[in-house]
């Protein structure tokens, strides 16, 4: 069960995250440069030393074979936390397109197979939606952030951003499907600056919920 971000509570309410031995270092458990930049912005001022696998010389291969965002995020967070012996934060996120029955969903990062990069996946998505009317191009970004301790204790937080899929790519910022994900104001996520994106994004919502819990746990 996931708490929605508006609750700003850990998955198991009232239980502090983390043994104090591990409280001051938080591993951002991703090698995706775009996600690293977002996590650093969103977690700035939380009171933890933010480190990446590259900072620690850490290589961890995780098979994302879960059947939900929460399972995949938890698999990554626990694996990195065990390897680094500190708190680790990981996410799994995806794009859910209503006209495609929720696809690509948890397979968003692998949509179209391993031979495609971000731009290739975006173009495949646009081809898959050719001929679909604007009113039927509704979609959402969904993210689940997992925070794990070395003993395996894990909390999850979810964020959802509603929008629609544009007819073509617009904007130079962001990554992934941002050039075709249209926000309420008509701009794509790739046309937003960092502050604007962080304020409304699915990942921003989930990370802020996790950060609220982490900051409370780290206050002592």
Q: Say which residue the tokens 């626990």 belong to.
A: 78
What ranges in 57-117 are assigned the alpha helix state H?
Answer: 69-84
> Which has the closest alpha carbon to 219: 52, 45, 11?
45
User: How far is it, in rounded angstroms, from Cα 58 to Cα 176?
Assistant: 24
Strand partners for 26: 50, 87
Q: What are phi and psi of 126, to 5 degrees?
A: -65, -40
Q: Is 118 exposed, middle or buried (0-12, 13-18, 19+ CB in 10 A)?
A: middle
Q: Is 184 a catalytic residue?
A: no
User: How far is it, in rounded angstroms, from Cα 82 to Cα 194?
Assistant: 32
User: How far is it, in rounded angstroms, from Cα 205 to Cα 146?
Assistant: 13
Residues 6+ apart with CB under 8 A from 56: 27, 84
- Catalytic choice (19, 44, 92, 184): 92
Question: Would you state the structure tokens that stand for residue 166, as one six-digit string?
Answer: 């544009």
* Residues with catalytic roles: 92
């Amino acid at each position: 069960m996931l708490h929605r971000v508006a609750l700003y509570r850990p998955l198991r309410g009232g239980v502090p995250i983390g043994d104090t031995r591990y409280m001051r270092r938080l591993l951002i458990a991703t090698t995706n440069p775009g996600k690293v930049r977002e996590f650093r912005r969103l977690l700035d001022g939380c009171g933890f030393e933010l480190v990446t696998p590259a900072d620690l010389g850490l290589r961890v291969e995780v098979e994302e074979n879960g059947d939900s965002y929460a399972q995949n995020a938890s698999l990554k967070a626990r694996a990195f936390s065990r390897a680094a012996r500190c708190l680790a934060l990981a996410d799994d996120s995806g794009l859910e397109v209503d006209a495609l029955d929720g696809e690509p969903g948890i397979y968003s990062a692998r949509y179209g197979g391993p031979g495609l990069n971000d731009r290739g996946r975006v173009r495949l998505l646009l081809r898959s939606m050719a001929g679909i009317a604007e009113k039927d191009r509704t979609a959402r970004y969904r993210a689940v952030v997992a925070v794990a301790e070395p003993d395996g204790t894990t909390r999850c937080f979810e964020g959802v951003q509603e929008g629609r899929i544009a007819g073509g790519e617009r904007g130079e910022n962001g990554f992934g499907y941002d050039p075709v994900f249209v926000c309420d104001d008509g701009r794509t996520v790739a046309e937003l600056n960092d502050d604007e994106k962080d304020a409304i994004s699915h990942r921003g919502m989930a990370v802020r919920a996790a950060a609220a819990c982490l900051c409370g746990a780290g206050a002592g």
